[in-house]
Amino acid sequence: MKFDKPVIGGPCWTELGTNDLEGAKRFYTDLFGWLPETDPRQEAGGYTVAHMGDAAVAALTPLYQESQPVAWNVSFAVADADTAARKVEEAGGTVVLGPMDVFDVGRFAVALDPTGAAFQLWQARAFPGAGLFNAPGSLGWVELATRETDRARDFYTTVFGWTVNASEWYTQWGISGEDFGGMADMGDRFPPEVPPHWLPYFAVTDVDATAQVAVAAGGSVLVEPRSMGNVRRIGVLRDPQGAAFGVYAQTDQG
């Protein structure tokens, strides 16, 4: 990710919906060294913010609806959640929740793109989003996996004005050419029951060692660590409750 703070149109936050909040706290603390703090207010519903030092890096939350999957979600910063929600619908997406206020910290909405991938809109007030990017234990990349890449490209460039840097194999999303994420064609690499989705990638110092810690803590490896040219090494892991997420480490050349 080529920026180090939330910017309008870019990913600003990521949060895990889980069916075992206490188990998730233990797992991600073991894995990344996070310091989780649960909001004690009853109306906060167990919302837990994970920190690296003094910086908020992600959230862990209970599942709020029976139909909600155990999964990581990605939020994108917008200047006005209501305006952005209208753009989502005009571009063929669906707003499934909100826009609505969250105390005094911001206004958000949950949406589906036309290919079925869920994402969130975040209009910051008191809380701008993550206080750390690209450092070990923090968000550094987001990736859309979908079976309809052309449709997704049209949608996101219309809604957010993203720039596109595409090759035959991979599409990178950017803001004014500053890349922050990508898009991969699911093809036949995923079982048909796996829906399109956004996947956060967290920076680590050693992908292979992180994968070993994840397995020892009850998680599993979905994509074995591998090098992407001379730029970075990546892997995709799954926590004990079933949520997938990516990890990556820059190489000396990257």
Task: Name the band, by pLDDT with cuts 50, 70 and 90, for residue 252.
Answer: low
pLDDT in tens, 173-228: 999 999 999 999 998 889 999 999 999 999 999 999 999 999 999 999 999 999 98
Q: Which CATH class is domain 139-250?
A: alpha beta
The DSSP secondary structure of 69-129, one letter per residue, reads -SEEEEEEE-S-HHHHHHHHHHTT-EEEEEEEEETTTEEEEEEE-TTS-EEEEEEESS--S
In one-letter notation, the amino acid at residue 176 is S
pLDDT in tens, 141-166: 999 999 999 999 999 999 999 999 99
What is the C-alpha separation between 3 and 183, in angstroms, rounded? 18
Residue ranges per structural domain of the chain: 11-124, 139-250
Highest mean pLDDT among 61-65, 67-71, 184-188, 202-206: 202-206
Considering the entire predicted model, what is its pTM?
Answer: 0.96
pLDDT of the residue at 100: 97
What is the C-alpha separation between 98 and 240, in angstroms, rounded? 30
pLDDT in tens, 26-55: 999 999 999 999 999 998 999 999 999 999
Topology annotation, domain 11-124: 2,3-Dihydroxybiphenyl 1,2-Dioxygenase; domain 1 (3.10.180)
pLDDT of the residue at 64: 86
Q: What is the torsion angle, in degrees rounded to the nearest 10, for the CA atoms of residue 204, residue 25, residue 133 and residue 231? A: 20
The reply to whether 11-124 and 139-250 are identical in fold is yes
| Cα–Cα distances in angstroms (integers) from residue 157 to residues 113, 161, 173, 175, 244, in the given order | 12, 4, 9, 10, 26
The stretch 4-28 carries a mean pLDDT of 97
Residue 130: CA count within 13 A, CB half-sphere? 30
What number of residues does the chain have?
254
